[in-house]
Amino acid sequence: MTSDTQREAVVAIPTDNGAPADNPVAAEHDDVDRTYEHDVNGVIRTSDMDVFYGDFRAVGNVSLSFAFNEITALIGPSGCGKSTVLRSLNRMNDLIPSARVDGEVFYHGEDIYDPEVDPVEIRRRIGMVFQKPNPFPKSIYDNVAWGVKINGFKGRKEAMDEVVEQALTEAALWDEVKDKLNDSGLSLSGGQQQRLCIARAIAIQPDVVLMDEPCSALDPIATLRIEELMIKLKQHYSIIIVTHNMQQAARVSDKTAFFNVELDATGQRTGYLVEYSPTDELFTRPRVQQTEDYITGRFG
Amino acid sequence: MSIEAPERPVQEHFPTPDEYAGLLSKRTRRAWVVQMFLLLMLTIAVLGLSILLFTIIDDSFGNVATVNQVEPEEGVVLAGLDPATTSFGDLGKDELVTALQAGINRNVGRRLEREQRFYEDRLVFEPQASWDELCASDDPAPGCTSSARDAGNVSLLVQEQVIEPDIIAVSGMVESLLNPAAFEEEVARDFAVNPEKYPDYTFDQVRFQWRAWFSWSFITSPASATPEIAGIRTAVLGSIWLVAVTVLFAVPVGVGAAVYLEEFAKPTRLNDLIQTNINNLAGVPSIIYGMLGLAVLVRALEPITSGSLFGTGAPNGRTVLAAGLTLGLLTLPVVIISSQEALRAVPGSLRQAGMGLGATKWQTVRSQVLPVAIPGILTGTILAVARAIGETAPLILVGAASFITQSPSGPFSQFTALPIQIFQWTSLPQPEWQHLAAAASLTLLLLLLILNGAAVILRNKYSRRIT
Amino acid sequence: MQPAGARSAGHTRERRELTRPMALKLGAVDNMKEQLKKRRRPGERVIIGSLFFAGAISIAVTVGILWELGKESLLFFTDEVVSVGQFFTSTVWQPQAENFGIWPLILGTMLITVIALFVAVPIGLASAIYLSEYASPRVRGFFKPLLEVLVGIPTVVFGFFAITFVTPILRDIFGTSVVGFFNVLSAGIVVGLLIVPLISSLAEDAMSAVPSSLRQAAYGLGASKLEVSLRVVVPAALSGIAAGIVIGMSRAVGETMVVTLAAGASPRNFNLGSDSVFGYILSPFEAAQTMTGYIAITASGDISYDTIDYNSIFAIGLTLFVITLGLNSLSRRIVKRFRQEYD
Ligand SMILES: Nc1ncnc2c1ncn2[C@@H]1O[C@H](COP(=O)(O)OP(=O)(O)OP(=O)(O)O)[C@@H](O)[C@H]1O
Ligand SMILES: [Mg+2]
């Protein structure tokens, strides 16, 4: 564990470690029955997070706070650990035997890596959409219904039909598939498959949706549809998206985190957070030279 | 306008263009020869297979030279009918019983009746009084309780006891079809040269006829010490019972182990050990499994495998259960390894998708991973089971009975199996048995062909449903 | 009181009620710890436990094999009839006379294995080279399934084939006075045929694992197809091919039915000093019992437990087990080295 590269990220957005006792927003809205007291700290917050694959430290010292009902974009060169960070936010890294997370990741103030915490519950609340569309080799209907079913949905067939319809509608796919719900999910086009995966993810009513380059396999039209979809979805969900496409980050996200990768003293390529700012600022007035180089394409 | 190519320095030791052309044609020729050699070797392998299959089919059919104690026409006469209008094959049960009564002595008839009676409502050989007495005794004859013989059974008895056919020479299918006369001449010559081999017959009594050793009645007749009427029903049923036990044991355990190793096992020492161990077990000769079965299942666990713990069953542990489990242990590593391969072929993205939706590992495996892996698992399993059906050595060890006529009726029955029957018959010196062994081999190969076909069909059906 | 947003420089978050469109809603946030708490899933624990148990059965099988072979062998050697030394040095196996020297049985096994390899290695390798380097897809599609059929045929049927076809032919060729009815040549040839598909498919796998860049490099230097196959691909795949041959050898050593039927049941007892080496000891035309053959024949009679015969088959079995295990791990080691070459 060589954390000798103690770099300071420039963070224009506070990651408040203090107690959110006198949260003014919550106080103002006492009439709202579902208030989030940890509002200031964001829905997910990482604190000095390091992720290792075996002995290899893939990313180090990531402290970030992801806001409610916003889209946060993670950008950076290939291999800088964006997917790694994303996967550690809902414990998908558990599926990689060699992966290990040091530091803390808070979800509503609770450390999700606490041994007391159930990773299955975390993944139910923090859903994920993957880079390559990966529908189940089942019918479109079952693709959406399965996650709902295993999470203990007790409704009857009609209720399930409604859930499926709503999820597909929310994912802007309903009109295209409503006549062929029993067709295999694999029979759809790539863009449709990806929207099916989004429908599947939001059908289980998550809190946060993580998306790892959801548009990288899609054409511009399909990409546009998914971007519109994300903007629509952020009314209800907090979204964290990894993207290679800087226009996309600029178009859809509210905040952007820029990661970079550098050889450390031991010759390992460790990723780190460079800058975290509101998107319009990061793309217009970057505070760090590296960021500017990257977004202007002058990257070395 | 042309540009002079700059002159290259002449290189020593290299072939001139002409020489190179000659060299090339020589190389091409050599390549052709070698290629032909490779093809020849491949052809030899395929030829070996073809000859093997040919031998089996050739021996499963063919002309035989038979001498009957009583000609079938006389059998018809014994039944009280006219051989000019009725042939032996047309006789009904009653007429066959009449022929049997006329053809055998009373004591033999009583023995047969005690084994299995001829009619439900009347006796043929035994007086009613002694029958009642026999059935009331402590040790009643099997005939007291079993159902009556059917026409086919009586017909076999008449053939065995009255007609008593004796095959004195056999020939293969191809010779019989192409040159039947040669076989007859050969037998005639043998009669002339070695008369001492045939003290009881004259050549005139010999009948030449076509015989299909492999036939439906061969498959459905029980074992017999007389090759002319011996069949493989007992062995086929034994094999079916064995396969049932093998499948019931090896498939759930094997697939379960594969799922554990592929999906749940963390790379601990113990799990590595299990994996290495399974790979090693796959290479252990089958006869060693037989020894394990003999020492543990037949001997140490005799109360269980003989069924005595459950109050029923066999006198010892050499039962369907012990043998089926032995084959199950033998098949286990193969089932595990092929199921693991099938599971490994399922893309990881499916697992991530499942778990990303808040499913537990088991939920994901059961409803997303296993259904995709099933065709592969099924194919591998059927092939493993097909291998188990043909296994002989372990069955010898766990004591498949070499000669029983009683069909197995459950896991605690004594049994024989198809490959054991082939082994027994092959090791007997008289040529008739070789032909029976050929016919039994043919049956076994057809059975395996059906299983393999089923594997292919199942795989295709499943893979179509998924995509 | 400064609102939280001040800290994020003009990015005051507008407070929004989180409305969920559907029925399933997240619980209130204040008891989050409780909500995220590990669930007990007893059903799944039982299932995973049974899956582990299924995997662990294989360990029980190995322990069972080692335990039984070891125990009965121990009884065999402590029986005062034979010592370990005699067992491994004597060249006479005569259970009736209480002579238990394993060499005649090992000799039988070795003879048959060597003959089998003489048959199977050229045929298997040549087939593999042809199929992987030369054959058009159509030719491959014809030959490959045929070789696979060969794998599926039960060994007892091969035994039948040896007795009814190969032995008579050999006796026709060399004369009945030279070739016995039971002889190791027939058994060896048929065992060879039996392991051809094994060797050829493993060799083919090894050759198809050779990166095609290597082939292209050789073609680029003006090599012909033959030169590429024999001088580039085969050497590159050599360890995979060797591993396949070792596996085939292990199969031949453990093969039972063919040798029991075709090679006879008389151990080839010999005396190195007085017996002719090529006329008798290594003669392919005489009968010889193998280790597997002895086990099968002895057990096929109604063998009684706790006799010296019963114990002796386990001592032989243990030897057989060790030999095949050694061959199998040898092949695995060869394969492992092969992998490293290309990774
Ligand atoms: N399963 C794994 N095992 C070992 N190392 C891994 C694994 N996954 C990723 N890595 C390593 O971690 C580092 C970061 O990888 P990651 O996939 O997070 O990058 P990324 O920023 O998402 O790149 P890209 O933009 O190409 O997707 C890389 O050096 C990669 O090699
Ligand atoms: Mg990535």
Cβ proximity of A270 and A264 under 8 Å: yes
> Binning pLDDT at 50, 70 and 90, where does residue B2 land?
low
Contact criterion met (CB < 8 Å) for A137 and B358? no
Contacts of C321 (CB under 8 A, 6+ apart): B284, B285, B288, C65, C69
Contacts of B81 (CB under 8 A, 6+ apart): B91, B95
Give per-residue pLDDT as tens, B235-291: 999 999 999 999 999 999 999 999 999 999 988 899 889 999 999 999 999 999 999
Cβ proximity of B346 and B369 under 8 Å: yes
Mean pLDDT of C221-246: 87
Pairing of strands A208-212, A238-242: parallel
CA atoms within 13 A on the CB side of A55: 4
Mean pLDDT of C222-233: 84
Cβ proximity of B74 and B169 under 8 Å: no
ipTM of the complex: 0.88
CA atoms within 13 A on the CB side of B200: 7
Set of chain B residues whose Cβ sits within 8 Å of the Cβ of A204: 357-358
Q: How many residues does the structure list for chain A?
A: 300
Contacts of C197 (CB under 8 A, 6+ apart): B45, C124, C147, C148, C150, C151
Contact criterion met (CB < 8 Å) for A25 and C16? no
Cβ of residue A195 closer than 8 Å to a chain B Cβ: no
Cβ proximity of A110 and C32 under 8 Å: yes
The A residues from 76 to 135 touching B (CB cutoff 8 Å) are 90, 92, 95, 97, 120-121, 123-125, 127-128, 130, 132, 134-135
| CB-proximal residues (5 Å) to ion ligand 2 | A 83
Mean pLDDT of B439-465: 83
Residue C22 clears pLDDT 80, i.e. is over it: no
Give per-residue pLDDT as tens, C280-306: 888 889 889 999 999 999 888 777 888
CA atoms within 13 A on the CB side of C129: 28
| pLDDT given at position A36 | 35
Of C137, C132, C124, C336, give the one whose Cα is nearest residue C215: C132
Residue-averaged pLDDT of chain B:
86
Cβ proximity of C101 and C86 under 8 Å: yes
**Among B287, B399, B438, beta carbon nearest to C292:** B287
Q: How is residue B221 written in tokens? A: 């007749």
| CA–CA dist B296, B293 (Å, integer) | 5
Residue C12 clears pLDDT 50, i.e. is over it: no
Say if A108 falls within a structural domain. Answer: yes
Closest Cα in chain A, distance from residue C8 (Å): 5
Residue C339 clears pLDDT 80, i.e. is over it: no
Contact criterion met (CB < 8 Å) for C3 and A24? yes
Token pair 């032919």 in the structure block, residue: C169
**Among A95, A97, A137, beta carbon nearest to B352:** A95
Set of chain C residues whose Cβ sits within 8 Å of the Cβ of A204: 24
> Binning pLDDT at 50, 70 and 90, where does residue C342 land?
low
| pLDDT given at position B180 | 86
Contacts of C279 (CB under 8 A, 6+ apart): none
Cβ of residue B266 closer than 8 Å to a chain A Cβ: yes
First to last CA, chain C: 63
| pLDDT given at position C70 | 94
| pLDDT given at position A39 | 40
Q: How is residue B386 written in tokens? A: 């097909």
Fold of the CATH domain B233-466: MetI-like fold (1.10.3720)
Say if A247 falls within a structural domain. Answer: yes
Contact criterion met (CB < 8 Å) for A278 and C11? yes
Q: How is residue C20 written in tokens? A: 């969920």
Q: How is residue A142 written in tokens? A: 């079952």
| pLDDT given at position B1 | 54
Q: How far is CA B171 from the centre of its chain?
A: 23
Q: What is the value of pTM for the model shown?
A: 0.84
Cβ proximity of C297 and C213 under 8 Å: no
| CA–CA dist A237, B393 (Å, integer) | 66
| pLDDT given at position C341 | 59
CATH number for the domain harbouring residue A141: 3.40.50.300
Q: Contact partners of B by the rule of 3+ C-beta pairs under 8 A?
A: A, C
Q: How far is CA B457 from the centre of its chain?
A: 21
Residue B462 clears pLDDT 90, i.e. is over it: no
Residue B326 clears pLDDT 90, i.e. is over it: yes
What residue of A is the nearest CA neighbor of C30? A37
Give per-residue pLDDT as tens, A254-293: 999 999 988 777 777 889 999 898 998 889 988 888 888 8
What residue of B is the nearest CA neighbor of A203? B357
Contacts of A114 (CB under 8 A, 6+ apart): none
Cβ proximity of C2 and A25 under 8 Å: no
| pLDDT given at position C199 | 93
Give per-residue pLDDT as tens, B127-144: 888 888 888 887 777 778
Say if A300 falls within a structural domain. Answer: no
Residue C58 clears pLDDT 90, i.e. is over it: yes
List phi, psi (to 5°) of B189: -60, -40
Residue B98 clears pLDDT 90, i.e. is over it: no
Mean pLDDT of B148-160: 82
Give per-residue pLDDT as tens, B17-70: 788 888 888 888 888 888 899 999 999 999 999 999 999 999 999 888 888 878
| pLDDT given at position C245 | 94
| pLDDT given at position A18 | 40
Set of chain B residues whose Cβ sits within 8 Å of the Cβ of A83: none
| pLDDT given at position A34 | 34
Mean pLDDT of C104-109: 93
Q: How far is the CA of A83 from the centre of ligand 2 (A)?
A: 4
| pLDDT given at position B261 | 94
| CA–CA dist B442, C239 (Å, integer) | 39
Lowest mean pLDDT among A59-73, A268-282, B188-202, B295-309: B188-202
Say if A82 falls within a structural domain. Answer: yes
Ligand 1 pocket (Cβ < 6 Å) reads A 53, 58, 78-84, 96, 98, 269
Say if A75 falls within a structural domain. Answer: yes
Q: How is residue B156 written in tokens? A: 């076999």
> Binning pLDDT at 50, 70 and 90, where does residue C190 land?
very high
Give per-residue pLDDT as tens, C80-96: 778 888 888 888 888 88
Number of separate domains in chain A? 1
Which has more pLDDT, B380 or A217?
Answer: B380
| pLDDT given at position C94 | 85
| pLDDT given at position C1 | 38
Residue B466 clears pLDDT 70, i.e. is over it: no
Residue of B294, B448, B456 to mutate, interface with C, max C Cβ within 10 Å: B294
Q: How far is the CA of A80 from the centre of ligand 1 (A)?
A: 7
Q: How far is CA B190 from the centre of its chain?
A: 35
Give per-residue pLDDT as tens, B435-446: 999 999 999 999
Mean pLDDT of C110-124: 95
Bridge partners, residue A53, by sequence = A56, A99
What residue of C is the nearest CA neighbor of A203? C22
Q: Domain residues for A53?
A: 4-295
What element of type H or E holds B219?
Answer: helix B216-220
Q: How far is CA A156 from the centre of its chain?
A: 31
Token pair 């092959």 in the structure block, residue: B426
Residue-averaged pLDDT of chain C:
84
Which parts of chain A register pLDDT below 70?
Answer: 1-7, 12-41, 299-300
